[in-house]
Chains A and B, each alone.
Chain A
Amino acid sequence: MNPNTNLGYLFAIYIITWAGFFAYMFLVSRRQRDLEREIRQLRQLVEQKTKPAGNP
């Protein structure tokens, strides 16, 4: 058998494995970034609300 037979299948396995992994990692990182921004905004709102009236 030619050792390079089925090289296309191996390439597909390699691409799908890494593409799937990095796509998921990208989505998780983006979600975390959005949540961190949301937490900062919510904390600011909470601080504003809990600040006594009349204080600058």
Chain B
Amino acid sequence: MRDVSARSAWLVINAALMAVSLWMIFLWVPTEANLGVIQRALYFHVPVSIIALGAIILVAIGSVAFLVSGRPRWDWLAHASAETGVLFGGLALVTGSIWARPIWNVWWTWDAKLTTTLILWFIFIGYLMLRAYAPPGRQGARLSAVVGIIGAIDAPIIYYAADLWRTAHPSRVTGPGASGSLESEMALTLLVSTITIVSLYAYVLVERFRVRRSEAEVAELSKELQASGIPARRSDGGAPATATGGD
């Protein structure tokens, strides 16, 4: 019950943050002189891109912790982060592509930053495919952990892509080593927007983690029933649940 009310409070905070950031993006922050109104895409595109990078780092942290400790919770965290990474990585690519169309006159170009971000998205997809098709249990979790750790190598490459190669993508305007800059009102709007989207991401990550934990609980209960001679039927009428709770 306490858990439900804490989550409800978090949702209310998220809704308030969303309202504030939307007001700032569409009504408060001034329009950029050269790019016009499309520059406001920055306040969506940058936060979702930051989260896509953060998600693969979280996958790697969860994977390392799982390989070291063997505790399933770390594996669940890595799995949940990979799935949310697909969403936010996909949003980064799509919003970037829509922004590129009026500015560069193309939907897509094989620019270093764009290409490495696309590779990150495929890493997330590959990780989830491995989770789906690898043998159930610890072996599959260990294989996926290795992919998650190797995949995180892409994060610093994306971050520094505009410095390492001559790219059409603008330089970073925020974060360590950023060479670009923003006016104070724009910087504040970007900060509020980033806090909002990070909070929403954290909420979804926790929800996805709970799903993974519940799946493990279903598998444990099914194993218990199977051990006592009753084939546990899934509530949706599907095949008996397999015991993979310990992965």
Contacts and interface: CB of A to CB of B under 8 A. Distances in A.
Contacts of A25: 203-204, 207
A13 B45 contact: yes
Nearest to B219: A42
Contact of B41 (A13, A29, A31, A39): A13
B230 A49 contact: yes
B221 A46 contact: yes
Nearest to B44: A17
Contacts, number: 103
B217 A39 contact: yes
Given A5-B36, A28-B208, A20 B41 contact: no
B214 A42 contact: no
B99 A13 contact: yes
Contact of B36 (A3, A14, A24, A31): A3
Contacts of A43: 221
A6 B214 contact: no
B200 interface: yes
A17 B51 CA distance: 13
Interface residues of B, number: 41
Contacts of B40: 10
B114 to A, nearest CB: 16
A34 B203 CA distance: 19
A53 interface: no
A45 to B, nearest CB: 6
B37 interface: yes
Given A9-B101, A41-B235, A49 B225 contact: yes
B75 to A, nearest CB: 17
B205 to A, nearest CB: 10
Interface residues of A, number: 35
Given A2-B36, A38-B218, A28 B207 contact: yes
Contacts of B222: 42
A24 B204 contact: yes
Interface in B1-54: 31, 34, 36-38, 40-41, 44-45, 48
Interface of B: 31, 34, 36-38, 40-41, 44-45, 48, 84, 87, 90-91, 94-95, 98-99, 101-102, 200, 203-204, 207-208, 210-211, 214-215, 217-218, 221-222, 224-225, 228, 230, 232, 234-236
12 contacts: A5-B38, A5-B102, A9-B38, A10-B41, A13-B95, A24-B87, A35-B217, A38-B218, A38-B236, A45-B225, A46-B224, A50-B228
